[in-house]
Amino acid sequence: MISMLMFPWLNYANSAQYQNKTALRDDLQGEVFTWPQLAQRIEQTRLSLQRQGLSMGQGIALCGKNSLDLLCFYLAGLQLGLRVLGINPAFPVEKINRLCELNDISLRIDFSSSQYHCRRLKNSAKDDRTFTLTEGYTMTLTSGSTGLPKAAVHSVNAHLANAVGVSELMRFGANDSWLLSLPLYHVSGQGILWRWLQQGGELVLPQADFYASVIGVSHVSLVPTQLQRLLSYLAKHPNKFVCTKHILLGGSQIPLELTRQANRLGIQCYSGYGMTEMGSTVFAKESDETAGVGLPLKGREYRLVDDEIWLKGAGLAEGYWIDQKIRTLTNKQGWFQTKDKGQWLNNELVLLGRLDNMFISGGENIQPEEIENIIQGYELVNQVFILPRDDAEFGQRPVAMIQFNLDADTENNFKSAVEKLKIWLSDKIERFKQPVAYFPLDVEKARQEGTIKISRNLLKTELMTLL
Ligand code: 4YB
């Protein structure tokens, strides 16, 4: 029997203090729910899953963008002791089917904006296997660079433990609201949900005009490109009232210029570093004038071993789901090796890039993120990626894919911006690190629908067509 104490929404629904308190505001549908109303809705979903014959240890896949229905299935599934896997609905059907097979999913639920559709999957009919699990788990697909992503398996307690440190740093409490601004099939969306549940605050599902919702809550999580868009939105609507007090950033390098601009508007930004396997944020600080990510949050531990960041503590997954079992993701000493390169500088962690992005040019190591960070400092640059291009003499050489901040992004403008950038860059990094060619980057095209970051592998494929 699973202890009900694990599920905060049941506690709030039964507590006198929370009877009339808003738990959730769905700005898309224009609905508001108190804790008892929300708990009732989750209970109905739990009963419908139970009627479908699902029991402890079995898997369900939720395939859709964020919605109240999807959120209820996520929580009801956990309450029933199921494994709950989120899938990006923009994935090709073949990939979705394969992921359901590999993760032993018995029921797939597809969500559209107004309804959902349940589909029993083949393996479930003869599936009496009990997976010898004793509680519900979330399964979150990692953003593995090649092949099919693995699912990291988290217990409810791991998510709740992760939530504590972030809420503490960002002063998020029962009287605050956090926008569900990132997808629940990604760990960044789940991080928001567990902070909300852990603190008993208010969760807001955004309206169609996303940035109007962003400025209507106290707390928001954004990836850096979304912050950039928020700043353009605010520049276009200077008279709008901005409630937003705290913005958590993460997922990729956070340009200082962005956090400076937001801070000038009275919005406190937080520079965070996290990942799927650790249940979202691990390090974070109030953004300041240095590019680091501060100290580990409460309950997390780190080590730097040969420049690689090793982590453990609050939020660590139980393991990956492989061959019908949870298999550990830590090394022999009990640490998760991140493949992120880091340095301890002036009492904080500074991220230097992914170890697996490094390449060799004429015998010298090139870490693409080092070059990107320097180029990002040039005021006309919106976003830049450095990729290796094969070269007969050097093995590989760096080339840049770049998006400038140009009013009219014509070919001529691009060429002249590159010429100016080359002059600016010439005394900022070693010769062998300077890109040997520049190509325009179309951020919208490069971003796979529904993913929160741009995939370097897709950019490499795109680059091949440009060479
Ligand atoms: C970074 C990085 C950084 C990650 N600089 N590389 O709640 C949050 O923490 C949150 C808030 C806003 C936006 C995103 C988040 C996240 O959860 C992000 C978590 C994430 O990106 N997970 S991931 O598994 O998809 O990728 C993890 C990898 O991303 C890390 O191993 C790093 O390589 C990279 N990364 N934060 C530079 N600040």
Q: What is the residue with the minimal CA distance to atom 9 of ligand 1? A: 281
Q: How far apart are CA 465 and CA 467, in angstroms?
A: 6
Question: Is the Cβ atom of 163 under 6 angstroms away from ligand 1?
Answer: no
Q: How far apart are CA 129 and CA 141, in angstroms?
A: 23
Q: Which of 317, 315, 308, 311 is nearest to 334 (CA)?
A: 311
pLDDT digits (tens, 9 = 90+) for 406-447: 765 566 789 999 999 999 999 999 999 999 999 999 877 777
Question: Is the Cβ atom of 275 under 6 angstroms away from ligand 1?
Answer: yes
Q: What does the pLDDT read at residue 2? A: 59
pLDDT digits (tens, 9 = 90+) for 307-346: 999 999 999 999 999 999 999 999 999 999 999 999 999 9
ipTM topping 0.95: yes
Mutation choice for ligand 1 from 139, 194, 273, 276, CB with most ligand atoms inside 8 A: 273
Question: Is the Cβ atom of 284 under 6 angstroms away from ligand 1?
Answer: no
Least reliable range by pLDDT among 5-14, 206-215, 339-348: 5-14
pLDDT digits (tens, 9 = 90+) for 28-64: 999 999 999 999 999 999 999 999 999 999 999 999 9
Token digits of residue 16: 């006198």
Find tokens 């697909």 and name the residue. Answer: 141
Q: How far apart are CA 197 and CA 167, in angstroms?
A: 11
Q: Which of 197, 339, 348 is nearest to 276 (CA)?
A: 339
Say if pTM beats, i.e. exceeds, 0.90. Answer: yes
pLDDT digits (tens, 9 = 90+) for 376-396: 999 889 899 999 999 999 999
**How many alpha carbons fall within 13 Å on the CB side of residue 373?**
15
Question: Is the Cβ atom of 165 under 6 angstroms away from ligand 1?
Answer: no
Q: What count of other Cβ atoms lies within 10 Å of the Cβ of residue 279? A: 27
Residue 273 CA to ligand 1 center (angstroms) comes to: 5
User: How, if at all, do strands 336-345 and 137-141 pair?
Assistant: unpaired
Residue 353 falls in which region: left (phi positive, over 0), alpha (psi -120 to 50) or beta: left
pLDDT digits (tens, 9 = 90+) for 114-160: 799 999 997 654 455 557 889 999 999 997 667 899 999 999 999 99
Residue 250 CA to ligand 1 center (angstroms) comes to: 5
Kind plus residue range of the DSSP H or E element containing 41: helix 35-51
**How many alpha carbons fall within 13 Å on the CB side of residue 39?**
20
Q: What torsion, rounded to 10 degrees, do the Cα atoms 178, 312, 142, 200 define?
A: -20
Question: Is the Cβ atom of 226 under 6 angstroms away from ligand 1?
Answer: no
Ramachandran angles phi, psi of 464, nearest 5°: -55, -35
Q: What does the pLDDT read at residue 122? A: 74
Q: What does the pLDDT read at residue 457? A: 87
Q: How far apart are CA 71 and CA 192, in angstroms?
A: 12
Question: Is the Cβ atom of 281 under 6 angstroms away from ligand 1?
Answer: yes
Q: What is the residue with the minimal CA distance to atom 20 of ligand 1? A: 275
Q: How far apart are CA 371 and CA 68, in angstroms?
A: 42
For each of the domains in the chain, give its residue range(s) and CATH number, in order of start: 4-135 (3.40.50.980), 157-355 (3.40.50.12780), 358-466 (3.30.300.30)
pLDDT category, 6, cuts 50, 70, 90?
confident
